[in-house]
């Protein structure tokens, strides 16, 4: 009898951990609402220096938060903010944002640069950041409609090798891009991702 109760308790706990996050849960919103000021409602940013985190792959979200919390990934205010969350709270936030629909930010872009950037994307980036910059959650974060200043800043960090958390795959891909293209080409790529949010 005791074994049966234990077995069913384990089954119920297992089912609960696989349920989707309840967006109406006030405890969940107590965690994620602290992100809205910079990252926008449900993770779709409107600030030029902050990325969309809506629909972000859970593992990427968790790794980013943990890396900023430890100081391994360079950051400004996020290093302080990330220290306020436990691993379990970060996992809850990761699951919540992974379930939100990303709304690409509309911004001005140069159509000629964007057209050139599309060709570059297909050559160098499409393997991980799928067609039109919209990714599956299996590989990498969504680039479609991300703010140009944010993309420019992060890519500069990558090029200057100032972020040790950059994956070897991305590092090699970016090196290949830089070795074969100019700084202008990088700007074309940025305009292409901006164009995917509309004008």
CATH code given to domain 111-195: 1.10.760.10
The domain at 2-98 falls in which architecture? Orthogonal Bundle (1.10)
Q: How does pLDDT run across 156-179, given as a tens digit for each residue?
A: 888 888 888 888 888 888 889 999
User: Tens digits of per-residue pLDDT, 190-199?
Assistant: 999 999 875 5
| CATH 1.10.760.10 location in the chain | 2-98, 111-195
The average pLDDT across 73-90 equals 93
> The whole model's pTM is what?
0.77
Q: Is the pLDDT of residue 3 over 80?
A: no
Query: pLDDT tens digit string along 110-145?
Result: 999 999 999 999 999 888 887 554 544 434 567 888
Instruction: Give percent of the chain above pLDDT 90.
Output: 39
Buried b (16+ CB within 10 A) or exposed e, 157-191: ebeeeebeeeeeeeeebbeebeeeeeeebbbbbbb
């Amino acid at each position: 009898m005791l074994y049966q109760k234990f077995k069913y308790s384990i089954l119920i706990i297992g089912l609960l951990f696989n349920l989707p996050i309840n967006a109406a849960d006030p405890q969940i919103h107590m965690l994620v609402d602290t992100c809205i000021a910079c990252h926008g409602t449900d993770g779709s940013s409107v600030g030029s220096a902050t990325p969309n985190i809506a629909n972000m792959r859970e593992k990427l979200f968790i790794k980013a938060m943990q890396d900023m919390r430890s100081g391994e990934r360079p950051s400004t205010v996020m290093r302080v903010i990330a220290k306020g969350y436990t691993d379990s709270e970060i996992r809850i936030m990761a699951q919540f944002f992974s379930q939100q629909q990303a709304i690409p930010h509309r911004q001005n872009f140069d159509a000629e640069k964007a057209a050139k950037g599309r060709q570059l994307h297909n050559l160098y980036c499409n393997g991980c950041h799928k067609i039109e910059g919209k990714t599956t959650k299996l590989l990498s974060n969504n680039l479609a409609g991300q703010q140009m200043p944010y993309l420019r800043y992060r890519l500069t960090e990558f090029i200057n090798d100032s972020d040790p958390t950059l994956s070897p795959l991305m590092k090699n891909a970016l090196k290949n891009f830089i070795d074969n293209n100019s700084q202008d080409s990088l700007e074309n790529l940025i305009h292409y991702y901006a164009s995917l949010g509309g004008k």
